[in-house]
Amino acid sequence: MIKYILFYFLYINLLYAHPHVFIEVHPTIEVKNSKTTKIHFEWKIDEMTSSMLIMQLDTNGNGKIDKKENSIAYSDYFSSLKEQNFYTNMKLKNRVQKFNPTNFKATIENHKVCYSFDIKGNYNIKDLKFYFRDETFFVAMILKKKFMKITGVKAIIKPLGTGGYELEFK
């Protein structure tokens, strides 16, 4: 009997461990002489989550995120993801690197909230990998070949067995 009760509680907990937010990751990476010259990411947030964010962010109701609203998006939503490394583990020689996104901009495109940002630095592409995932499983990061704009190097997407994706360069 205790075994069934324990199984029931474990099953209930598993029901809560699924994504509530879906984010498409659109990387733009440029490489020259085996070093990155540009690392830019755009996140496209699913329509349901976006509709809630638009109500919060588009305070003047003009269908756009202006400069003041962008500041709110950054301070109230995006910057809080720093603890999770922005769901983006950048690894150099298999060591996770902390980074501070620059040029953050929030926009509304086709009823979706989009965040875009850059990562500064010239990194040796042979030592660089990106991992996109949320350890809590509340956010699903989605990466597909058709989302990528990568020049100067070949890129490979590998699904992670624990959810998320790895982006590796060859």
Number of domains in the chain: 1
**For position 17, what pLDDT does the model report?**
56
Identify whether 28 is part of a domain.
yes
In sequence order, what DSSP letters do the residues of 76-144 get, joined into one string?
IIIGGGGGGGGGEEEEETTEEE----EEEEEEEETTEEEEEEE-----BGGGEEEEE--TTSSEEEE--
**For position 78, what pLDDT does the model report?**
96
**For position 36, what pLDDT does the model report?**
96
Identify whether 3 is part of a domain.
no
**For position 110, what pLDDT does the model report?**
95
**For position 101, what pLDDT does the model report?**
97
Cα 10 to the chain's mean position, in Å?
29
pLDDT averaged over the chain?
89
Identify whether 141 is part of a domain.
yes
**Which H helix or E strand runs over 167?**
strand 165-169
pTM: 0.86
CATH code (residue 124): 2.70.170
**Strand blocks (E) in 12-65:** 21-32, 35-45
**For position 13, what pLDDT does the model report?**
47
Identify whether 6 is part of a domain.
no
Q: What is the pLDDT along the chain (170 residues), one digit of tens a residue?
A: 554 444 444 444 444 556 789 999 999 999 999 999 999 999 999 999 999 999 999 999 999 999 999 999 999 999 999 999 999 999 999 899 999 999 999 999 999 999 999 999 999 999 999 999 998 878 999 999 999 999 999 999 999 987 899 999 98
Identify whether 56 is part of a domain.
yes
Domain enclosing residue 62, as ranges: 20-169
